[in-house]
Amino acid sequence: MARTSLKPGTFAALIIAADAFWRRLSRFLLLAAGWGVMFLGIMVAVDVLARYLLGRNLGGVDEIAGYIFAIGISWSLAEGFYARSHVRIDFLYQRFPLALRTGLDMLALIALLLLAGFLIFSGWIVVSGSWARASRSASSLQIPLIIPQAAWLLGFVVFLVALALSAIRALLELAHGDLNQVNRQLGVMTPVEEAEDAVKSGGLG
C-alpha cells in the first residue's frame, strides 16, 4: 500500500482501501500480461520447430501474438502509472519548487485521465461494433473478436479507475496541506528513488 498521511476518516479509509485493492489488481494484470508474453514465446518456438521438423506451422500464431501484445499493453498501463514509469519530461522538473511540481503533477494526472477516457470511448466503439455484428477473425481460427477486444478494453478501464482513485487521494492530501505526499505519489522519480527501486527489483534490498 502506498504511504499516506491521511487521517483514518470514513471516506479517506474507503479510498485508501479501494486504492490498495486496485494496486493489487493492477499488479495481477501486469503479471498476467507477462505470462502471456512468455506463453507467446513458447508458441513461437513450437511453431518454428514444427515448421523445421514437419514442414508446416501451427497456424494462427501471428493472430494470437497481436491479441496478446494489445491486451498486454492495456493491462500494463495501471501498474505503469502506480510505478511512476510513464514517460515525463523532467529536465527542469526537479529544479522547480515543491508547489510548482505538485501543480504539474496534478496537471499530468488530469491529462492522463483525459487520455484514459478517450481510450475507453474509442475502445467501446470497437467492442460494441464487434458485438453487434458478431464479428469473427478472418483467419482459420475464427475467434469471436469480442473476446480479445473486451480483454483489451478492460485494461483501459482499470487504468482509468487507478487514475481516478489516485486523483481523489491527491486531493485529500492537498486538503491536508501535504504537498510532499502528493509528490511522492504522483511526481517524477528522482535518481535516488530510481536507484532504490532498481535495488529492490533486483532483490538486493
pLDDT given for residue 37 in this prediction: 93
Q: What is the pTM of this model?
A: 0.85
Q: Which of 203, 198, 205, 202 is nearest to 83 (CA)?
A: 198
3-state secondary structure of 144: strand
The low-confidence residues of the chain, meaning pLDDT below 50, are 1, 203-205
The span from the CA of 101 to the CA of 78, in Å, is 22
Q: Domains of the chain: which residue ranges?
A: 10-82+93-189
pLDDT given for residue 179 in this prediction: 85
pLDDT given for residue 205 in this prediction: 44
pLDDT given for residue 153 in this prediction: 97
Q: What angle do CA 21, 26, 32 make, to 5 degrees?
A: 125
pLDDT given for residue 191 in this prediction: 65
3-state secondary structure of 136: strand
Phi, psi torsion values for 38, nearest 5 degrees: -65, -40
Q: Average model confidence (pLDDT) for the chain? A: 86
The span from the CA of 193 to the CA of 188, in Å, is 9
pLDDT given for residue 6 in this prediction: 58
Tens digits of per-residue pLDDT, 61-107?
888 999 999 999 999 999 999 988 877 777 777 788 889 988 988 99
pLDDT given for residue 138 in this prediction: 82
